[in-house]
Amino acid sequence: MPHPISAVVFDAYGTLFDVHSVTAECESCFPGAGSQFSQLWRVKQLQYTWLRSLMGRYCDFEALTRDAAKATAAALGFLLTERSLGRLMAAYDTLTPFPEVRQALAGLRGFRRAILSNGSPRMLGAVVRHAQMEELLDRVISVDEVRIFKPHPSVYSLACDAFDVPASQIAFVSSNFWDASGATSYGFRTFWINRTQSQPEELGYAPACIVGNLGELASALAAA
């Protein structure tokens, strides 16, 4: 019989917070191309986390996100001024939570709740404060502690250390399949938030449960 879940740990970007809520600021900087810029910026951001991890050349997520914005502008042939770059980066501090997030977190008061994210401590602190979610979380954990990005196993171990529980007692929640897969490989019970009905990747480690949004999480946890 599986161990009872004692903590629920969430990815931040794309899971709790909509990374594409920066699109309006992207559109303001690059009229007619806001969505295109936002989409490619996110792709570059993720690529750089994986590449820097493989290279063994860590830089924090804020610097990496800035570099990804510069690369995106260059790829699209746009001139990115320092003023525009500052506005784009500031938009990451005020990302919009998905509509169901606050109610979903509040409904999990029987569990310890945390964020485990690639984000830097400053970025995570800013976005959590902006969303007024401090009282809904027991911990906000950044990969900065181990200086490597997800899905490296040492990142997931931070959650076990934070709550002093084995992996089998942690439910990990992410909208990124590669993240859910990495967490499954580590030993967490994973819940993939598949808002867009995406096709699962073939990584060999499937999540324990798939739900359409965080509003379905409490019932899925009860059945786990």
DSSP characters for 74-113?
HHHT----HHHHHHHHHHHTTPEEPTTHHHHHHTTTTSEE
pLDDT at residue 75 in the model:
98
Question: Alpha-carbon torsion 155, 157, 163, 168, what sign?
Answer: positive
Identify the bridge partners of residue 9 per DSSP, sorted by sequence position: 114, 172
Is the distance from CB of 3 to CB of 166 less than 8 angstroms? yes
7-16+98-223, which class in CATH? alpha beta
E strands, the chain, where? 7-10, 17-18, 96-97, 112-117, 139-142, 170-174, 189-193, 209-211
Domain with CATH 3.40.50.1000 in the chain: 7-16+98-223
Q: Which CATH number fits domain 20-92: 1.10.150.240, 1.20.1070.10, 2.40.50.100, 3.40.190.10?
A: 1.10.150.240
pLDDT at 130: 97
Q: How far is CA 68 from CA 17, 26, 47, 80, 149, in A?
A: 19, 13, 9, 12, 15
222: Cα separation from own chain's centroid: 23
Give every CB contact of residue 50 below 8 A, 6+ residues apart in sequence.
149
Ranges for all domains in the chain classified under CATH 1.10.150.240: 20-92
pLDDT of residue 2: 61
DSSP code at position 43: H
Q: Hey, how many other C-beta atoms are within 10 angstroms of the C-beta on 218?
A: 17
Predicted pLDDT of residue 170: 97
Which candidate, 170, 167, 162, places its Cα nearest to that of 191? 170
Cα-Cα-Cα-Cα dihedral sign, residues 49, 51, 54, 58: negative
- This prediction has a pTM of 0.95
Residue 11 a catalytic site member: yes
**What pLDDT, on a 0 to 100 scale, did the predictor assign at position 1?**
43
Cβ neighbours of residue 18 under 8 Å, at least 6 residues apart?
95, 96, 97, 98
List the chain pLDDT tens, one digit each, 224 residues: 466 899 999 999 999 999 999 999 999 999 999 999 999 999 999 999 999 999 999 999 999 999 999 999 999 999 999 999 999 999 999 999 999 999 999 999 999 999 999 999 999 999 999 999 999 999 999 999 999 999 999 999 999 999 999 999 999 999 999 999 999 999 999 999 999 999 999 999 999 999 999 999 999 998 87
